[in-house]
Chain A
Amino acid sequence: MDQLLQAISTGLLVGLTYAGLGVGFSLTWGATGVINAAHTSVAVLGAYLGYIALDRWGVDPLVALVGIVPLAFFAGWGFFEALLRPLKRRVRLVGMASVVLTLGVALVLESLTTVAFTADPRVVRTGYTGAGLALGPVRVGGGPLAAAVMSLVMLAAVYRFRQGTYTGRALRALEQEPEGAALTGIDVRRTSGIATGIGFATAAASGVALSLVYAFSPTTFLPWLVLTFLVVILGGVGTVLGVTVAGLITGLTVSVVALWIPFAWTNFVLFVVLILVLLARPTGLTTR
């Protein structure tokens, strides 16, 4: 029983972090139709920036987010202007074309980070990643807790932005009906740029969060990308709540299932869950 409680609490914490990783991917897909396979490459870059801040200057990675998040946001906006907008003007079905383009970018980033930081796995060690909280029978690690709190704040901020600001509502209009949105006077180009910027910013911040829980290296982008796909396909495109629920389900599945079956099979269970969900709901759990 204690074991189960422990697994549930760990699952919920990492689940929030997974949701944070997926939310920007889902948002960019919804608003621009672009599937950004380089999403988790940005997360890995964010993790490295946080690591450098701590290693070189002794700045806590979570504090370093003050610099990392704006940097990633404008990098994302620039990415949209430089590559995604030209792509959208040239091809009819942007979804598949964008997968290929961003996979190319992911390959470039993987090699660049390998050259810059070597292929050695890195671990972030701060005062709180080693500490832990005892809540009755359950022990909560400082790293996962900090990561989960940061992700929760981020998810809430994105949610508030989408519901309560003009640009956020413009973004939702774009998801529902791009042409209609343009007709009502929404600046599609600017809104798409901002959506991509938010995608990058949340990816980089989630990279920092994940670096508090897991070791990472330049090749980590692939397992993180698979995780992102799982969460977003399960949760749906352009929905913060859906992605959050999907992230929690994913985190819980992984940690609870590991109690009964060998660790190597946990991913398989996750894949089966995904396929079963898609059988019932071909476009995700919460899609309209």
Chain B
Amino acid sequence: MRRKGPSEGTTWLLLAAAAVGVALAPFTGMSVYLMSVAFTVMFHAALATGWNILGGYAGYESFGHAAFVGIGAYTSGLLLAELGWSPLFTAPVGALLAGVVALAVGAPVLRLRGPYFALVTLVVALAVSVVVLNLPRLGVAAGVFVPRPHDSPVMARFILYEAMAAILVVTVVCARLVERSRIGVGLRAIREDEEVAATQGVPTTRLKLVAFVLSAALAGLAGGIFSWSRGFLDPAEMFSTTLSVLVVLFALFGGRRSWIGPVLGAVTVTLAREVLFVAIGEHAAQILFGSLLVVVILFMPHGLIGPRPRLVTDGGTG
């Protein structure tokens, strides 16, 4: 897997430097507003990068990623509201739970291909949200209040910022490790041609499941911190279909070949949405945003990072 460009060690060093930079940024006197925008950007970047492990490398595009965010969000949110345990420690529990659900759901769902997989993941995400919202005794459908991280709003934002920055770093490291491993090679072989990959001895079923579980667990991790930041478990927000769609868009917009694409896509699209929302209002922003989707898919179907190297010749029809 040796490629041209900076060596493996240099890249890790650059990544570490970037991570330290992100972690130290609040000490330059960021306002609460800027920290909260940065929080959302990092949340989206983490989700898109995690989604890309299955959606980008293997080409299995899920439209139900928010289900795993919701599982993590409710796990950590409820543990905090009921027992007072900090999401800093319970986020991994949410990740574990999201991973277990992905394992159970993945076995049947990953047998489906292309659009069938996309549509069914959307439906499964809705099913998961129905279950969570109707679980007896929790009464969560009505919403649950989650205590803030800190009494001071500045400290609260700071804690959330650093927690999400840590999750983004963990996600990027996972994605990059997968990219550079045998698993990554196998996943890309699945994307190119699953039948051929299977006949060449790639354990396709197992690899897809590993990628799906990892991707779900990372979403659960981010979800735990996300619900902490909202102060309230709103089912529509924690299991938002819009969020599932946005995550796909981030990865598509940035490019799905490596982890850089989803991060870049999440940063640009989230900031653009934020600016549009403030500048021209909700409806105008959504109209412009929807049109942007159309333009992006028509004129740069491979995203900002550019086309991936063609491993098989393109026998495109019509």
Contacts and interface: CB of A to CB of B under 8 A. Distances in A.
Interface in A87-101: 87-93, 95-97, 99-101
A97 B298 CA distance: 9
A154 interface: no
Nearest to B119: A229
Contacts of B284: 111
A129 interface: no
Contacts of A145: none
B115 interface: yes
B134 A264 contact: yes
Contact of A110 (B61, B286, B291): B286
Given A267-B130, A271-B127, A278-B120, A111 B290 contact: yes
Nearest to A115: B283
Nearest to A189: B318
Interface in B253-297: 282-284, 286-287, 289-294, 296-297
Contacts, number: 128
Contacts of A87: 297-298
B9 interface: no
A222 B298 CA distance: 24
Contacts of B282: 111
Contact of B301 (A97, A178, A188, A279): A97
Contacts of A282: 111-113, 116
A104 B290 contact: yes
Interface in A109-140: 110-112, 114-115
Interface residues of B, number: 47
Contacts of A278: 108-109, 112, 116, 120
B301 A274 contact: no
B203 interface: no
Contacts of B290: 103-108, 111
A97 B303 CA distance: 12
B305 interface: no
Nearest to A93: B114
A275 interface: yes
A161 interface: no
B241 A222 contact: yes
B126 A267 contact: yes
Interface string A165-184: 00000000000001100100
Contacts of B291: 104, 108
Interface stretch (B73-81, B92-100, B214-222, B244-252): B244-252
B111 A99 contact: no
Q: Could you tell me the dominant secondary structure of chain B's interface residues?
A: helix
Given A101-B298, A108-B286, A279 B108 contact: yes
Contacts of B144: none
A272 interface: yes
A106 B293 CA distance: 11
A107 B318 contact: no
A270 to B, nearest CB: 9
B318 A178 contact: yes
A103 B298 contact: no
Nearest to A29: B115
A96 B251 CA distance: 13
A246 interface: no
Contact of A283 (B63, B116, B122, B126): B116
B127 A100 contact: no
B16 to A, nearest CB: 34
A101 B297 contact: yes
Interface of B: 61, 63, 108-109, 111-116, 118-120, 122-124, 126-127, 130-131, 133-134, 141, 241, 245, 248-249, 252, 282-284, 286-287, 289-294, 296-298, 301, 314, 316-318
Given A226-B123, A275-B124, 16 more contacts: A83-B294, A101-B293, A101-B294, A104-B292, A104-B293, A107-B287, A108-B287, A110-B286, A112-B287, A178-B318, A229-B122, A233-B116, A265-B130, A271-B126, A272-B127, A282-B111
Interface of A: 29, 35, 83, 86-93, 95-97, 99-101, 103-108, 110-112, 114-115, 178-179, 182, 188, 222, 226, 229-230, 233, 262, 264-265, 267-268, 271-272, 274-275, 278-279, 282-283
